[in-house]
Structure 1
Amino acid sequence: VNIGYKADGIITLNELSTDSTKKPKDLFEEGQEIDVYVVKLDDGEGNVVLSTKRVEGLKNWEQLVEKYENDEIVEAKVFKVVKGGLLASVLGINAFIPGSQVTTHFVKDLTPYVDQTLECKIINLDQKKRRLVLSRRVIEEKALEEKVNEVWEDIEVGKIVKGKVARLTDFGAFVDLGGVDGLIHVSDISWKRINHPKDVLSVGEEVEVEVLRANQERNRISLGLKQLTKKPFDSFLETNKVGDVVEGKVVNLVDFGAFVRLDEGVEGLVHVSEISHEHVEKPADVLNVGDDIQVKILDINEENKRIALSIKATTPAPEKEEVKKEVKKAPKKVVEEPAFENEDLNNTLGDLFDIDLEDIE
């Protein structure tokens, strides 16, 4: 290369371009004016050592500074995993991507990222120290934030939405609604009592749920699954009436009776007086939780959603032994009246005492 110096300049292959696959004829033509960087004025043989690669690097640094100031996205080609993160190349300049900035969640093994081209933002740049630090995480977080805002625009209390079960806990199921998680509390999964959400749901399952409550400031959404199914009491009313004998399971025992769960998931009460024809002191004396029993529906209170049941009404009452007692009648007393011959109501005292009054004289 003629640089107007006493000697021509030479550009070695390793100083040609940041792309090692390029050859001189791929980049330049004879007579073309180019910018070069003087590496050495004399290489020991009288030649001036030049570099187009370093010029390209300086121009690329200028581009990076401009992109950094304008908060623009750069493309980084990952070529190595190092302690604490990844090494990547941006416009031929080496850059570092910390492990915490690779994505929004912790990644133990970064090897799969090698040879990938990642869209990143420049979070630290120092041209003098040739330090360039990138982040892919900030781009993902911004995209997630935009997606979350879109989801929230579609969230309304009472609205039916679709989602995918993301994880299960003892207290409920978290559902991904497309970037925002909502919670189905265990009490809102089914009308029936369940021990754990996994009894009804599984991770990855797609579900339709109703939005029960939503608070965007706290980023909380309460969802309901059972609300999209018919209420058990309504189902019970459709298929049962007073007088029917139905199957049930004892679910709770209290001093005043036993609570029995019927097939529809509703619970009715068997009062202690309706357990047996014989006297029962406590329900636990004759029943156990988990017992399968037959009960008769005595009453249905639709307003209060209460059902009165009876066990003893499903069996006939035992016959009572009648004991006949003979009542002995006391004999009537016969009062005999004295008989007087020739009764004379004008009897005198003398007649009564058989005394001759004349003798007294």
Structure 2
Amino acid sequence: MTADNILNEENNEKNDELENSQVEVNSPEEENQGSQEQQSQEDDSTSGGQDDSEAASEGSDVSFNEGDKVTGTVFKVEDKFVRAHIDGSDFEGIIPISQVTNKRIEHPNEVVAEDDSIEAVVIKVEDENERHNLILSIRKLEEDQSYDSLITAKENDETLEGTVMEVVQAGLVVDVGVRGFIPASLLSDEYVEDLEQFAGQTLEVKVEDIDKDKNRVILNRKKIIESQKNDERRGQLQKLTADTIVEGEVVRTTNFGAFINLGAIDGLAHISELSYERVEKVEDAVNIGDKVDVKILDVDVDNERVSLSIKQAQASPFELFIKEHDEGETLEGTVKRLVDFGAFVEVAPGVEGLVHVSEISHDHVAQPADVLDEGEKIQVKILSLNADAEKVSLSIKETTDPGERSTAPSKVYRDETEDDRPTLGDVFGDRFKNLDL
């Protein structure tokens, strides 16, 4: 037996002794406990492997279809698309830049960032060769939600706000969650020449028409303006009070009067209320654009009508006349009208007085037209001034001497014959003079 063999045998014996000594030291209870711990570790190892396997199995068993709504978390934002982990699956969502938003953007990071939670709709499923990719659209989901909101808004006649994205020849392109369009004819209740003034503005609109299948949304701003103006008119009508004087602007003229703007509403001043002087043509008294004071004669709230007067907002010519003239004063006037009972004579612009037929002459006058002509200049005397009724009584005859009669030559009838023969009067005159006939 060699030394190596001996050493090996000794080593083997020592190892046997060591094992025997360890067996002898450990009690039966300890041996049982060690056995249980070992079994527990094996069970835990087996259980952990099963959980991981089940999780992987569950992730791989999830399936998606086009149109499904999903949620996820963005983990990468690139130039032309966004990547996101889809919740509850091992799928990855890819969102092209065109599907991130309906707004025009240069880079997806203008809208989303890493770790953002997103909600999107599946527009394509790529499950080939275990790629597990979903093509998603945030834009389509938002548009679907926006269309639902717009349909509800139209049904309830709600007012929306939208931002003008683009100005085109026919109207405005407006963002209301989706691209909507306001035709120029539905932009205002008045003609709008410059559409560029609305670029970038936020406007209030109503939904005029909507077709989701055709991606068409027609908006109306005119209705809102009309409604606002109607409310303003009603409000101002309720504040207007008869017999008050306000300022207005002449905005339209017709053959029967002038329409005057008072702010939210127009009132009518009839041609007879434009001036104290007789007006043959409206444009002779006022012109469009004139600023005028008017007196409110009547307010009809139900029919939205206001009657106005320009002349009554001014001091009347009669008021000025009685301040400058007194009874008994003589002045020149112009015959304006002749009637059966006398003559109307203008003694100042807008002021006419009546000369009764009995005041025309000291002589009897059957018809004023027998001695006066319209347009004739005459002298008249003021007999009375009635401030309340604004009447002036005049007299022509009081300006003349009572002894002055008509200047028309008297008609004298004479016998112009040259016959000198006596008449019956000559023969019998003296004989009959004492008879009591």
Verify: 1:18 aligned to 2:102, yes or no: yes
CA, structure 1 residues 114+212, in 2 after alignment: closer, same or farther (shift >3 Å)? closer
CA, structure 1 residues 248+216, in 2 after alignment: closer, same or farther (shift >3 Å)? same
Q: More helix per residue: 1 or 2?
A: 2
Give yes or no for contact 2:161–2:202 (8 Å, CA) kept in 1: no
Give the whole-Å Cα distance in 2 for the aligned partners of 1:103 and 1:16: 34
Q: Give the total of aligned pairs.
A: 316
Give yes or no for contact 2:251–2:288 (8 Å, CA) kept in 1: yes
Residue 36 of structure 1: CA displacement?
A: 3.2
Residue 151 of structure 1: CA displacement?
A: 0.8
1:72 corresponds to which residue?
A: 159
Give yes or no for contact 1:120–1:135 (8 Å, CA) kept in 2: yes
Give the whole-Å Cα distance in 1 for the aligned partners of 2:98 and 2:288: 54
CA, structure 1 residues 114+146, in 2 after alignment: closer, same or farther (shift >3 Å)? closer
2:145 corresponds to which residue?
A: 59
1:295 corresponds to which residue?
A: 379
Give the secondary-structure state (helix, strand or coil) at the position aligned to 1:157: coil
Give the whole-Å Cα distance in 2 for the aligned partners of 1:117 and 1:31: 32
Residue 148 of structure 1: CA displacement?
A: 1.8
Match of 2:332 among 240, 247, 250: 247
CA deviations 1:10-49 (Å, max 9, x no partner) are 433333322213412222223433233333346x9x8754
The residue identity in structure 2 corresponding to 1:310 is: I
Spell out the pairing of 1:37-186 with structure 2 (5 A cutoff). 37-41=121-125, 49-65=135-151, 67-68=153-154, 71-77=158-164, 79-81=166-168, 86-105=171-190, 107=191, 111=195, 115=199, 117-186=202-271
Give the whole-Å Cα distance in 1 for the aligned partners of 2:113 and 2:327: 101
Residue 136 of structure 1: CA displacement?
A: 0.9
Give the whole-Å Cα distance in 1 for the aligned partners of 2:219 and 2:406: 92
2:286 corresponds to which residue?
A: 201
Give the secondary-structure state (helix, strand or coil) at the position aligned to 2:116: coil
Match of 2:111 among 20, 27, 45: 27
Residue 221 of structure 1: CA displacement?
A: 1.6
Query: If the length of structure 1 is used for normalisation, what is the TM-score?
Result: 0.70
2:12 corresponds to which residue?
A: none
Give the whole-Å Cα distance in 1 for the aligned partners of 2:268 and 2:213: 51
Give the whole-Å Cα distance in 2 for the aligned partners of 1:308 and 1:252: 14
Give yes or no for contact 1:15–1:54 (8 Å, CA) kept in 2: yes
CA deviations 1:199-221 (Å, max 9, x no partner) are 33333333333222222112112
Give the whole-Å Cα distance in 1 for the aligned partners of 2:247 and 2:368: 49
The residue identity in structure 1 corresponding to 2:97 is: L
The residue identity in structure 1 corresponding to 2:138 is: T
Q: Which structure 2 residue ranges, 5 or more long, are not aligned?
A: 1-82, 410-437
Farther-moved stretch of structure 1 (191-200 vs 305-314): 305-314
Residue 242 of structure 1: CA displacement?
A: 4.0
Residue 120 of structure 1: CA displacement?
A: 0.6
Query: If the length of structure 2 is used for normalisation, what is the TM-score?
Result: 0.59
CA, structure 1 residues 294+245, in 2 after alignment: closer, same or farther (shift >3 Å)? farther
The residue identity in structure 1 corresponding to 2:164 is: K
Match of 1:262 among 347, 355, 375: 347
1:308 corresponds to which residue?
A: 394
Give the whole-Å Cα distance in 2 for the aligned partners of 1:300 and 1:155: 38
The residue identity in structure 2 corresponding to 1:61 is: Y
2:308 corresponds to which residue?
A: 223
- The ranges of structure 1 where at least 4 consecutive aligned residues each deviate by more than 6 angstroms after the TM superposition are 272-282, 318-321
Kindly name which structure, 1 or 2, has the bigger radius of gyration based on alpha carbons.
Answer: 2
Give the whole-Å Cα distance in 1 for the aligned partners of 2:400 and 2:181: 80
Give the secondary-structure state (helix, strand or coil) at the position aligned to 2:117: coil
CA deviations 1:100-121 (Å, max 9, x no partner) are 532224x385745663543211
Give yes or no for contact 1:16–1:53 (8 Å, CA) kept in 2: yes
2:423 corresponds to which residue?
A: none
Give the whole-Å Cα distance in 1 for the aligned partners of 2:174 and 2:193: 20
Q: Which structure 1 residue ranges, 5 or more long, are not aligned?
A: 322-361
Bigger relative contact order (CA 8 A; separation at least 6) = 1
Give yes or no for contact 2:163–2:202 (8 Å, CA) kept in 1: yes
Give the whole-Å Cα distance in 2 for the aligned partners of 1:267 and 1:319: 26
Residue 130 of structure 1: CA displacement?
A: 3.1
CA, structure 1 residues 120+201, in 2 after alignment: closer, same or farther (shift >3 Å)? same
The residue identity in structure 2 corresponding to 1:79 is: E
